[in-house]
Amino acid sequence: MPTLPDFRLEKYFSRWEFVAQYNLTASDLQTLPLASLLDMADDDSRRRWESLDLGYTETYGLPALREAIADTYDRVAAEDVLCFAGADEAIYLAMQVLLDSGDHAVVVAPNYQAAETVPMSIGEVTGVPLRAEDGWALDVEAVEKALRPTTRVVSVNFPNNPTGVVPDEGTWRGLVELCENRGVRLFSDEVFRGVERAPRRSLPQAADLSATALSLNVMSKAYGLPGLRIGWIACRDRVVLSRLE
């Protein structure tokens, strides 16, 4: 397997994030101290926190956590959720499961670096760019033209990092339908869902729209709790989830 390239953004952060006087690069919301977070808890949640056992838990994640995550979806059950130590682990394992040597992936770019480089380390990748001159619009026809008989995954990131663009719902549903009709997995990075500049533009989550799609999310961005190191994939295809486990 080819060696993954350095994660250049993380290397930059590791050098400067905690020593710079001013940080204009943050990609998450203002984080909370633990006391402020617990102030929002109801009595039952606080009791569960105070009695929390810091031992090992189920591979899929604490059942109560998976239930809470499932509640953020319309058609996803707790059994459709698999938890990870952040989003990067989820991306890496998902691509290892969905792709084999010789397979092809389509990556709508710009995208999170790992969503581009991990597929490239396994098989072939075609990038479909969001273009500034087109208002960063998602071009479903361009994605369709990029598909091959060996295409297994289409990877997207909306709200997009770094442009912030959110496609209109009709276009989004068209992409989901395309992937379903062609037997291609849609891997949807949704970690910035909830911080849209226009909240009414929140898209339906991919795992709600399609039983074969994978929705990625994490506590780091919209929830402002990166230190918890909780990420997850929601997918109603439990065969895929069992392979990810």
Listed range (5-9, 43-47, 62-66, 76-80) with the worst mean pLDDT: 5-9
* pLDDT at 25 (0 to 100): 77
| C-alpha neighbours within 13 Å on the C-beta side of residue 187 | 29
- Identity (one letter) of the amino acid at 150? T
Mean pLDDT (whole number) for 177-186: 98
Q: Hey, what amino acid is at 241? A: L
At 2 the pLDDT is 65
CA dist 79 and 184 (Å) reads 22
Question: DSSP letters of 78-102?
Answer: GGGEEEESSHHHHHHHHHHHH--TT
pLDDT digits (tens, 9 = 90+) for 160-181: 999 999 999 999 999 999 999 9
Q: What is the mean pLDDT of residues 128-156?
A: 98
Percent of the chain whose predicted confidence (pLDDT) is above 90: 76
> Which tops the pLDDT comparison, 104 or 14?
104
Contact between 234 and 80 (Cβ < 8 Å): yes
Determine the pLDDT at residue 57: 87
- For residue 215, what pLDDT is reported? 99
Read off the amino acid at residue 107.
V
**Domains of the chain by start residue, with CATH:** 8-244 (3.40.640.10)
